[in-house]
Chains A and B, each alone.
Chain A
């Protein structure tokens, strides 16, 4: 059988690349092992760029006050509030509209599932405090209904 020249194997490659990766903070890399020889020079031998962690914005709690006797529709959970059943569809309710207690006034998406929000009282929608597709906190007031 004719002698075949040894080929670089994937095992060689994995070991080599792991070595190169682990020395990325040096500007020069030279390796000679068996019949493999590798030399590298890097432009910036400085430490690899550190990934900055994004700092989440702090939401300031807004003090809200409502006229006495109003019915407040609150978010049952942390989630995303939607005013319509689908993008482009008409909102469930508008300010000034009359609603029955079991009327759906919006949807809260919690962990990708949709939860219908009911008015909870018969009356007139006086205020809608959250814009479509906004994140809401648990217990946050979504709408104000004047009961009658």
Chain B
């Protein structure tokens, strides 16, 4: 019997997070849910930290309502991702809030609960894993890939063993900056598969280096069971590989694939049109750039840094700052260059360069990180840095970070009153009240189907400058006039 390779869709989550600054609304998703459901994905990832946050802050959509709607409409099991003890933000939450979040997601219909910690400190996953399993969801634990002298194959094998110890249903290697190469995959992947034992292993890699599709091939050959992919127009570049391309590669390597090509084409055609309608970019295959492997700072963050530096009239110092970022990362014990640590590295490097002296100013968040407040560091802090930061004994944190945080629900219940729903309690734990007011505005009526002709009519209808339109197509003819 042929071995299977399965797919997890990221089009509704990471794809637009990477390419559209997470601005895909629920009403953009609903017309194509039927086709996505028929495409044969094993799971569909619908939620992550940025999606939750952008829903609240920018789209003024209630994220719980989106999760509920997608879980109801999709028969394919839905997957929701959180940042472990930090949930959808970068602060740490108490265990009772983490637990309630897992219960709410399960109640809304989430079947696969995915968690990761940006430090790969798996103690930060314990409360989520326990609560998620108790709520009846499958547990998927990620470990984040990075390049450093301490992030060796043995390091990831040790992390994989910890996750097996947590009784994860799936393990996954997540490569947020697209740093994996086929060469590294050939040693790392078989080692992790072996450590995982019977637990299936997944790959989630971004395409910033252009090498991800080849890396996925190595993963399949090494015994990985699932790959995360996106519909072709929203794949590649900062996003993940295209489902269509990885499926072709799997078939060529002799794997069986349970995808429906016709449905995939329907999905891709729709999102291709959505890029044009919404004036948002489609993903482009990235050219290989060796600089990515040095500072590891993703392109999106460099362009963000460039505009912040421009505002401070410091744009010309960008190359120096990127070089300093390598030193800072070493001094800080090789944090993974993802949020929020990417921001720490870049800000500290900027301070060092602008002040002309290393660590003259150390942001409070970096001080907490160095003291172990967020979890264990991958490597010891450098002697130079330790010397400058002068950490006091009483600042150091050695226990599981969540243990230090007092329960949050009693206070929230007292503030919001007995009629508040669990969903409202959680939103109040994450955001201030003023920000949440905008979530009560009514949402548009969602369309669950559309056709190219209907899209054309709607598009023309939305254009204020058009006072007369006449369309004839095959047997259809229509005229609008202002």
A interface, CB within 8 angstroms of B: 5-14, 16-18, 24, 35-44, 76-78, 107, 110-116, 138
Contact = CB atoms under 8 A, between A and B. Distances in A.
Contact of A43 (B276, B311, B365, B465): B465
Contact of B452 (A8, A35, A76, A78): A8
B277 A17 contact: yes
A78 B361 CA distance: 13
Nearest to A9: B452
B429 interface: no
B269 A8 contact: no
Q: Range of interface residues on chain B?
A: 35 or more
Nearest to B470: A39
Contacts, number: 116
Contacts of B360: 76
B347 A10 contact: no
Interface of B: 269-270, 272-273, 276-277, 305, 308, 311-312, 314, 343-344, 346-347, 350-351, 354-355, 360-366, 451-453, 455-456, 459-460, 464-475, 482
A89 to B, nearest CB: 14
B456 A110 contact: no
Given A42-B465, A113-B366, A116-B364, A8 B451 contact: yes
Given A113-B347, A113-B365, A114-B364, A40 B276 contact: no
Contacts of B276: 14, 17-18
A15 to B, nearest CB: 9
B289 to A, nearest CB: 24
Nearest to B465: A42
B325 to A, nearest CB: 13
A38 B464 CA distance: 17
A7 B361 contact: no
B347 A40 contact: no
A42 B468 CA distance: 7
B350 A111 contact: yes
Considering residues A76, A78, A113, which has the most beta carbons from chain B within 10 angstroms of its beta carbon?
A113
Contacts of B470: 37-40
B269 A37 contact: no
A39 B351 contact: no
B390 to A, nearest CB: 11
